[in-house]
Chain A
């Protein structure tokens, strides 16, 4: 389960909004089989980076390659993306959404999706709009994780769900990402997830200040990633 290939390569990746540099000359390589935490305070560029990798926005400068190609038709077929907000149609039933995803993505696994719905006691016949905020998030995450993708981009996937479901979801992500797939997950809830991460990236004002394995950080600093984060980003 070592690093095998270069799944994501960012070179001098820059995105500016007017005079604001959301992302500033980011150089980053992510390999397959890694579970990577993307950490940084609000407005540090986490969502911008995820959107650039997914091709939802275009870089102002520099480049990003996913599976050897610029974001486009091919990369969409190998990247499974969970946005930081709801985007699914409210009137649809959960079962409709499963059909929808199965039509859309060749790598979607219905059996897996239904298993996860069952484990979290979600009724597939419920309409999305009748579900609570946390349950909606669980549904979105289940749909995202039921693909056999090479790269999972998860933007704040666990913020809205309760701690028990959080554990289940993390275990689901862990057991579902195949050995050469990578997960890039942005979050503020570092303490909850650091034991499942291989490596972390710290973003500060659009600049990557750290890209290191969790155990190396603990070894070198004698503290958890959560503690280090609080120290580095102390207000």
Chain B
């Protein structure tokens, strides 16, 4: 599990993003029990108070919930997880296109490049 943190933004926000990604990628499965705060904090190498804040945020967004007696769980709402997954994908695509446009590629040209890449991939028998 990767916990790469950048310097320019609040740590708890980055933890929320990483945890969200773990959920949409299935690393943390729907309905799965979330490790204890201290354990997660130790994994990420961050302060437990900061991890606590990130987990509270995850709960506020409905991606996790606390069962009073048995701990914290990932939501079972697969529809919600899918929706967030698509949201993240569309954010990444927008980011990618913005980067390409800075290099001077129009969306049309980007599509052509992607198609070309796919054809080459098929020829080599490897798909990437």
Chain A interface (Cβ < 8 Å from any Cβ of B): 1-2, 33-35, 167, 170-171, 174-175, 191, 195-198, 214-216, 218-219, 222-224, 226-227
Known contacts A174-B42, A175-B38; decide if A215 and B48 are in contact (CB<8 Å): no
- Residue among B11, B42, B45 making CB contact with A214, cutoff 8 Å: B11
Min CB distance, B29 to chain A, in Å?
27
Q: How far is the CA of A226 from the CA of B48 in the complex (A)?
A: 21
Offer 25 A-B interface pairs, CB within 8 angstroms, sorted by A: A33-B49, A34-B49, A35-B47, A174-B42, A191-B7, A195-B11, A195-B50, A198-B47, A198-B49, A215-B11, A215-B12, A215-B13, A215-B50, A215-B53, A218-B8, A218-B9, A218-B10, A218-B11, A219-B9, A222-B8, A223-B7, A224-B7, A224-B8, A226-B7, A227-B7
- Residue among A174, A214, A227 making CB contact with B48, cutoff 8 Å: A174
- CB neighbours of B47 from chain A (8 A): 35, 174, 195-198
Please tell me the size bucket of the interface on B: 20 to 34
Asked if B8 and A174 sit within 8 Å, CB to CB, the answer is no
The answer, yes or no, to whether B52 is at the interface (CB within 8 Å) is yes
- CB neighbours of B84 from chain A (8 A): none
The closest CB in chain A to the CB of B5 belongs to A195
Knowing that A35-B47, A170-B45 touch, tell me 10 more A-B residue pairs with CB under 8 angstroms. Answer: A1-B48, A34-B49, A195-B46, A195-B47, A195-B50, A196-B47, A197-B47, A214-B10, A216-B10, A223-B7
Chain B interface (Cβ < 8 Å from any Cβ of A): 5, 7-13, 37-38, 41-42, 45-50, 52-53
- CB neighbours of A222 from chain B (8 A): 8-9
Asked if B12 and A196 sit within 8 Å, CB to CB, the answer is no
Q: Which of B12, B13, B48 has the most CB of A within 10 A?
A: B48
Min CB distance, A158 to chain B, in Å?
14
Please name the 10 residue pairs, one residue from A and one from B, whose CB atoms are nearest each other, closest first.
A224-B7, A215-B10, A218-B10, A1-B49, A195-B46, A219-B10, A196-B47, A198-B49, A35-B47, A215-B12
